[in-house]
Amino acid sequence: MMNFDKDSLVRFAMRDNNKLRPYLLVNPLQGKHMPVAPETALNMFNMLAKLLCDRYREEKLFLIGFAETATAIGASVSVSCENVLYYIHTTRENVNGAHGYLNFSEVHSHASEQKLVLNNLEYFIKNTDRIIFVEDEVTTGNTILNLISALQSRYGSLKKLNFGILSILNSMSDKAISDFEKNGISCMFIERIDNSKIINGLKKYKFDERLKKEVSFAKPNLQRLYISGMEDPRMGVCVQRYLKSCEKLSKELVNFIDNKNQIWKKILVLGTEEFMFPPLLFAYELANKLGADIKFHASTRSPILPSSSDGYPIKTRHGLKSVYENERKTFIYNLESYDAVIWIYDCIGNDEGIESMCGALEGCGCKNIYAVRWGE
């Protein structure tokens, strides 16, 4: 297993027009804002899984990942630990088939309202020993406290609820961590960081409006595919069943690309907003099959300022229409030219969203673009 330290796990970037928390921690190995080799991201997630397994090996666990940055982390940890029975991630989407939502707030975020689909929550809670919250980074713990309060209010009468927190990075104060621990909530993480001087550190960078590109719409030059068998973790999933559905998607796509018999040296696999783990798993399997230079990352709702300054992580930004919702603006960062791009999403997909993503990719010189919808 690879070793990861603070220098490899975190970069600092400036949010665009967010006064509540003007900075953002960017993990270059996570596959969200910056392209990464899929094996590297999964190795990092496996390190988190080991922390969890070592701490709660004898308990039956229910994992909750936070949208949108930690959805793949939560899913990857879930499928790597035998005692994790169920997984769900929070969402900002309106989910088809949802019987209702448990709402809570992530106050500092660009989109502050979060929710959990209710359909399977009570069953998952009744049949497990502990709920584990999975994040990329925990800064104050307030969002997690908001969700704990909502869960206690709705389900606290069923049984004593036990919790834990698992994250790649943790920048909570000593007092905040101690308060969690006193209440039986362990804080597990790979690295602890001090964020007190981040804003001053970001002042040295110059932000250029010309690096914020709005994508023009054009008739997309791409091939569309549809693959069935989707399990949606927004609804809550049995972990082993979810893994099998992701493996089926990966196998079908790997066979499809392999049968193209093309010599592509540089390939990008793209996830879409909250939808990250299935494309990441496919990217990993494709790299094993082809031996090509394959990178993975995803579009995001998070508006980040780009800069060409040395040492700054976000170099370019393309503003897109979302495939989920026409009026929503999303972003893709640090795009490069690739011989082939396989972009995967889990919704019907509106035309403007598809056209804008294709425009961004073609504008960077990408060839052989495939848009893959994973559906039920």
Domains of the chain by residue range = 6-202, 209-374
Cα–Cα distance between 43 and 29 in angstroms, integer? 10
In this structure, the chain runs to a length of 376
Span 316-344, mean pLDDT?
Answer: 95
User: pLDDT at position 221, please?
Assistant: 84
Q: In CATH, what class is 6-202?
A: alpha beta
pTM: 0.95
* Closest listed residue to residue 374, CA positions, set 260, 266, 267, 231: 231
**Residues 287, 307: Cα–Cα separation, whole Å:** 30
112: CB partners within 8 A, 6+ apart = 105, 106
CB-CB contact of 328 with 353 (8 Å): no
For residue 294, how many C-alpha atoms fall within 13 Å in the half-sphere facing its CB?
26
Residue of 105 and 128 predicted with greater confidence: 128
Q: Looking up tokens 């990719």, which residue turns up?
A: 361
Cα 66 to Cα 116: distance, rounded to the nearest angstrom: 10
Q: Rounded CA gap, 308 and 208, in Å?
A: 8
Q: What is the DSSP letter of 169?
A: E
The pLDDT assigned to 219 comes to 73
Query: Cβ distance 269 to 279 under 8 Å?
Result: yes
**pLDDT tens track for 209-249:** 888 888 766 677 899 999 999 999 999 999 999 999 999 99
Would you state the pLDDT for residue 47? Answer: 96
Mean pLDDT of 340-366: 94
Give pLDDT, residue 7.
84
Question: Looking at this protein, which amino acid is placed at residue 270?
Answer: L
Per-residue model confidence (pLDDT) at position 214: 81
Enclosing H/E stretch for 21: none
Q: Which of 8, 114, 102 has the alpha carbon at shortest distance from 69?
A: 114
- The reply to whether 209-374 shares the fold of 6-202 is yes
Mean pLDDT of 94-98: 95
Across the chain, mean pLDDT equals 93
pLDDT value at residue 260: 86
The per-residue pLDDT for range 167-181, each reduced to its tens digit, is 999 999 999 999 999
Which pLDDT does position 257 carry in this prediction?
Answer: 95
pLDDT at 62: 98
Q: H/E element holding 277?
A: helix 277-290
First-to-last CA distance in the chain? 35
Residue 259 CB partners (closer than 8 Å, separation 6+) = none
- Percentage helix, strand, coil for the chain under 3-state DSSP, each rounded to 5: 30, 30, 40
Mean pLDDT of all residues in 185-194:
94
Q: What is the mean pLDDT of residues 4-16?
A: 89
Closest to 366 (Cα-Cα) out of 332, 348, 333, 342:
342
CA 9 to the chain's CA centroid: 15
Comparison of pLDDT for 42 and 8, the residue scoring more: 42
Residue with tokens 């094996």: 39
Classify domain 209-374 at the CATH class level. Answer: alpha beta
8, 40 in Cβ contact below 8 A? no
**pLDDT greater than 60 at residue 110:** no
Q: What is the pLDDT of residue 201?
A: 79
What share of the chain has pLDDT > 70, as a percent?
Answer: 97
pLDDT band with cut points at 50, 70 and 90 for residue 196: confident
Residue 173 CA to chain centroid, in angstroms? 25
Give 10 or 121, the one with higher predicted confidence.
Answer: 121
For the segment 179-198, the average pLDDT, to the nearest whole number, is 91
Average the pLDDT over each of 12-26, 84-98, 120-134 and give the range with the smallest value. Answer: 12-26
The pLDDT tens digits of the residues spanning 11-34 come to 999 999 877 788 889 999 999 999
* pLDDT value for 217: 63
| pLDDT for 111 | 53
- What is the biggest distance separating any 2 CA atoms in the chain, rounded to whole angstroms? 59
SS3 126: helix
* 255-271 residue pLDDT tens: 999 998 788 999 999 99
